[in-house]
Amino acid sequence: MLAGKFRDRFHQAIFPITASLGRLGLTPNVITTSGLILTVPLGYSIIKCHLILSALLIALCGFIDTLDGALAEKTNSGSEFGKFYDAFCDRVVEAVIYLSIAVGFPDLVYPAILALTLSYLASYIAAWQRGMKYVGVGSRAERMIVLIIAFFLGEIFYGLIIVSVLAGFTVVHRFYLSLKEG
């Protein structure tokens, strides 16, 4: 929902960055890969309970994810493989976040698994039903924003619960729309 409303405006705001990256010859897939590489320090920082660093790295991963899409759009260099690779890397980042929470905060194993499962289900439905990427109250952008805030506040449990509720509503909403479409 948030992603759908502000995506185009944000892409316009970061146009100078995407233009510079395009002039340097960087491709969207290279940008996507840099976000994937960041999962190593991200996972480590979560496991070691460095909450502020973790929040900053989640935010950076989210920014990079937006940047690769904006670069593909502005340079007209998007491809089917690029879409697949971006979605694949998004799932890896999510898995690293939630599984690292489960390892670093053993009392949060079950909420982390629930949040991961519902997030994956929301993404799975969107992958099968084209056009549903931004449908629902808990798209990936909203879920990542909740996690960033939760890490900054040191309230990971509540962040996981909110993510689970948002993702759960999104799953139900997307499933209902899929059923309605036939």
Pick the CATH number of 2-181 from 3.20.20.70, 3.40.50.970, 1.20.120.1760, 3.40.50.720: 1.20.120.1760
Q: Does the structure show a pLDDT above 80 at 70? A: yes
Residue 4 pLDDT level (bands cut at 50, 70, 90): low
Query: Mind listing the pLDDT tens digit for each residue in 92-136?
Result: 999 999 999 999 999 999 999 999 999 999 988 888 776 655 567
pTM of the model: 0.90
Q: Does residue 1 contact residue 54 with C-beta atoms inside 8 Å?
A: no
Domain boundaries along the sequence of the chain = 2-181
Q: How far is CA 174 from each of CA 31, 88, 90, 115, 116, rounded to the nearest angstrom?
A: 29, 20, 19, 17, 17
Q: Nearest 5°: CA angle at 101, between 83 and 159?
A: 80
The pLDDT value recorded for residue 5 is 62
